[in-house]
Structure 1
């Protein structure tokens, strides 16, 4: 296999999903690490424009011609695109990854995929390793398994693949994640935190900047990696099922002088509303991940990088709250604060 893109020092990357949570973070960190970054955006005002040190191209990840054109000359394609609010998941996820695969094979490029725990079923719990069996029991999990199977096949056809699997994402940009959609209300001050975990059930979280940093550092070592690689991140392990909520409580109390209360997610109400709200329906499918501990082992990652990029929990939570508009940037206790609105997950749409 010709790995010319690796050995000739090509540092041009295409990011699909660059306006989303993980995509925007990877694009920014690649740029800061000296990469030339392109991003595909359906709503771009012009066919091509420079913004924030990134070249934005008008195009659609569902259109193969757009992806092939945008990927010309790229050594890396970051596949971080997802349908907003999980809409049309089953119809668009596989066609989009097929387009990325076609472009990667044509360019002999490395595909980077943010992985999830959806791929796994009870036979692999509670500790997931890179080679754990993938027997999911959900629709999204089955699609994720198909994605990775197609990517593995692509790695035998000239592409290279790097999958970095982390827990539930949270970070400075709200998106398809539990903290922003199921625990808090973006853009509103935090007066209550809806906690979805059962008492004492551990849960794994992945802080987006740490996940992006891990991807960038692995890409720097891609010449030493095989054509198809998976790595698991330990991220932030919430051993009690309350530690993330308690971190939000601590950060908000320190910044505003008022501690929000932690309430149980009203699963019964979400179940009633799910038939009418797509996002709630998709979140309900993942209910099982809050009823049993599912954790990832990161020994392989540490063996390659020497350590896992890791931001302290309170620092990560504070950055996430500021980015979500739940806290003002740089705000300290004491001063006038905006009016607070009570909300729980039950009122979210």
Structure 2
């Protein structure tokens, strides 16, 4: 009897592969030699090339059977799917997670969840550590805390979970972000930067390609991790709320564009929020701009030794180019938000 000497192929299922974090992790997994499946209603998006290496499956994360079938033979499930536009969290977020847990239980897969700071109340600030109690003050925060509670329960029954929490995302494919929705306008040459921070208040930013690479590094070391792991990523700390705006100004000046900064019009968001769901949901997160929230990455550094970290100006340059905000670069790199 002969046995194949070929190594086992590593497979991952990505839920939310057309969103910012899902798209980045998908590319990082492919680059690391993984086979990637992506579950999406309608299958492959129109913008996907046939040679991308992703196996697109037509299905819905709200349907347990679809997730179960898509996860067959997968070692990892990245749960990066959210209802679009911050809507329907009450009715969709937890059922989608339950479907992922059921699939991971059946197939023995590790779940990877991009975490948020919504889970924590202001009593845990200004330095946020993994062991801080999760006592959220907002509706979305309570849902996110419940998600992690369910994953922790599942880990006690054999489903390994890795949570990676970072600051506000920015990057070439992050149109559904504070950077793209608040500071600049995708598809337009940046001439004005709006600063959401209260004066002098620090803020945590994370360059999405760095976050995705960190996730892949943890995924590849998953067998050395406990049943439930929670990691905080430091990313870029803007100590007084001006450094991100200053980086945008520096990058644009290299392209001959004079950029002005101004305060973010919270008053307008307040006035419009009764009529626009997304603005109403974003307004709920204003407290994160009114007090400093810094991520302590000691545990992550101890685990990985070295954490991916792109210099701020390099990251901002790539982000502005990807969003179509540089002169002569009309149009943003589009993707459908999850």
> TM exceeds 0.5?
yes
CA distance in 2 between partners of 1:181 and 1:42 (Å)? 25
CA distance in 2 between partners of 1:290 and 1:163 (Å)? 23
CA 1:120 to 1:45, structure 2 compared with 1: closer, same or farther past 3 Å? closer
Paired residues of 1:79 and 1:97 also in contact (CA < 8 A): yes
Partner secondary structure for residue 162 of structure 1: strand
Paired residues of 2:22 and 2:78 also in contact (CA < 8 A): yes
CA distance in 2 between partners of 1:9 and 1:206 (Å)? 33
The residue aligned with 1:17 is 16
Once the two structures are TM-superposed, the CA of residue 260 in structure 1 deviates from its matched residue by 1.1
Paired residues of 1:29 and 1:216 also in contact (CA < 8 A): yes
The residue aligned with 1:5 is none
The residue aligned with 1:263 is 262
The residue aligned with 2:121 is 121
Q: Deviations over 1:55-94 (max 9, x none)?
A: 1111111111110000000000000111121121222111
Q: Are 1:285 and 2:281 counterparts?
A: no
The residue aligned with 2:33 is 34
Q: Deviations over 1:75-117 (max 9, x none)?
A: 0000011112112122211111111111011111100000010
The residue aligned with 1:77 is 77
Once the two structures are TM-superposed, the CA of residue 229 in structure 1 deviates from its matched residue by 0.3
Partner secondary structure for residue 114 of structure 1: strand
Paired residues of 1:14 and 1:39 also in contact (CA < 8 A): yes
Aligned length: 321
CA 1:153 to 1:248, structure 2 compared with 1: closer, same or farther past 3 Å? same
Q: Deviations over 1:160-204 (max 9, x none)?
A: 100000000111113331011111111111110111001110000
Note the 1:2-151 alignment, pairs <5 A. 11-44=10-43, 51-151=51-151
Once the two structures are TM-superposed, the CA of residue 322 in structure 1 deviates from its matched residue by 1.1
Once the two structures are TM-superposed, the CA of residue 326 in structure 1 deviates from its matched residue by 1.2
Once the two structures are TM-superposed, the CA of residue 51 in structure 1 deviates from its matched residue by 4.3
Paired residues of 2:17 and 2:38 also in contact (CA < 8 A): yes
Report the more deviating stretch, 35-44 or 202-211.
35-44
Q: Are 1:323 and 2:312 counterparts?
A: no
Paired residues of 1:85 and 1:279 also in contact (CA < 8 A): yes
CA distance in 2 between partners of 1:110 and 1:9 (Å)? 16
Unaligned stretches of 5+ residues in structure 1: 1-7, 332-336, 339-349
Note the 1:172-211 alignment, pairs <5 A. 172-211=172-211
Once the two structures are TM-superposed, the CA of residue 279 in structure 1 deviates from its matched residue by 1.1
Partner secondary structure for residue 320 of structure 1: helix
Partner secondary structure for residue 216 of structure 1: helix
CA distance in 2 between partners of 1:164 and 1:172 (Å)? 20
The residue aligned with 1:303 is 302
Once the two structures are TM-superposed, the CA of residue 308 in structure 1 deviates from its matched residue by 1.4
Question: C-alpha root-mean-square deviation of aligned residues, in Å?
Answer: 1.6
Report the more deviating stretch, 21-30 or 49-58.
49-58
Once the two structures are TM-superposed, the CA of residue 10 in structure 1 deviates from its matched residue by 5.0
The residue aligned with 2:223 is 223
CA distance in 2 between partners of 1:276 and 1:150 (Å)? 33
Partner secondary structure for residue 147 of structure 2: helix
